[in-house]
Homo-oligomer: A and B are copies of this chain.
Amino acid sequence: MAAQRGEGETTTTPAEPADRERARAIPEAAVARLAVYLRALSGMADQGVTAVSSEELSQAAGVNAAKLRKDLSYIGSYGTRGVGYDVEVLVSHIERILGLTRNHSVAVVGIGNLGHALANYGGFPGRGFPVTALFDVDADLIGIPVGGIPVNHIDEITAICLEREVSIGVIATPPPAAQSVCDRLVSAGVQCILNFAPVVLQVPDNVEVRKVDLAVEMQILSFHVARRADEAAGVSVDNNGLGVDGMVSRP
């Protein structure tokens, strides 16, 4: 990286990709891992560790060392060859890249089973994600404080989100309500949404949605159980199981 010319990206620029697209220089997958590295590094810092090698950190994060180094290279060269990385320096750079240098106010919508757990969870505020607003439709809940924050009626969502500068909306309502809640959040200027409802949300291009779908997670696990069972049973391998008449010619 030292003697590089002002080109920035070394790759042979292919034709003409939209300039704005250039922005996403860091692969999404790498971003997710950076968050994991950050947590491992924070833990180390708390224990007084000041330096770490890619080998050690990769172990703590459960990834390949080469991959870790490549991930870090996306954000710059902050290591010292022959030594490793300074924990604090790395922490601050990852925090900068992830946009953690400022707080991101969070609103939770749907204060049922899951909403209560989220609102009571102490792990977010400490990490720069203060929960500042809670919403529901249930009259019995309005005004009741959960995790120190009183629940507001969903109809106040626009005003309150703007006022409290909510940047992340969490949807924990029943599936049928999810899309409408999502629309309201978007109208209120919220551009990031974390969705727990098992529904595919429709949003404008400028809004980022991430979903946490426990049923899907379980089903993926189930798939692996089934595959393992099949393997053990010696069922050679054709996904066409159910041989009934599914097997036709395949040259």
Residues of B within 8 A of A208 (CB): 221, 224-225
Is the interface on chain A under 10, 10 to 19, 20 to 34, or 35 or more residues? Answer: 35 or more
Q: Mark contacts of A33-52 with chain B using CB atoms, 8 A cut-off: 1 yes-contact digit, 0 otherwise.
A: 01110111000000000000
CA distance A208 to B223 in the complex (A): 11
Say if the beta carbon of A164 comes within 8 Å of chain B: no
Residues of B within 8 A of A212 (CB): 212, 214, 217
Q: Which A residues form the contact surface with B (CB < 8 A)?
A: 8, 20, 22-26, 28, 31-32, 34-36, 38-40, 60-62, 74-76, 93, 96-101, 104, 106, 113-114, 116-118, 120-121, 123-124, 127-129, 167-168, 191-194, 198, 200, 202, 206, 208, 210, 212-231, 237-243, 246
Are A20 and B216 in contact (CB-based, < 8 A)? Answer: no
CA distance A212 to B124 in the complex (A): 15
Residue of B nearest to A28 (CB): B220
Residues of B within 8 A of A227 (CB): 23-24, 99
Residues of B within 8 A of A240 (CB): 75-76
Interface residue from B74, B218, B231 paired with A239 (Cβ < 8 Å): B74
Are B216 and A35 in contact (CB-based, < 8 A)? Answer: yes
Are B191 and A225 in contact (CB-based, < 8 A)? Answer: yes
Q: How far is the CB of A192 from chain B (nearest CB, A)?
A: 4
CA distance A123 to B172 in the complex (A): 13
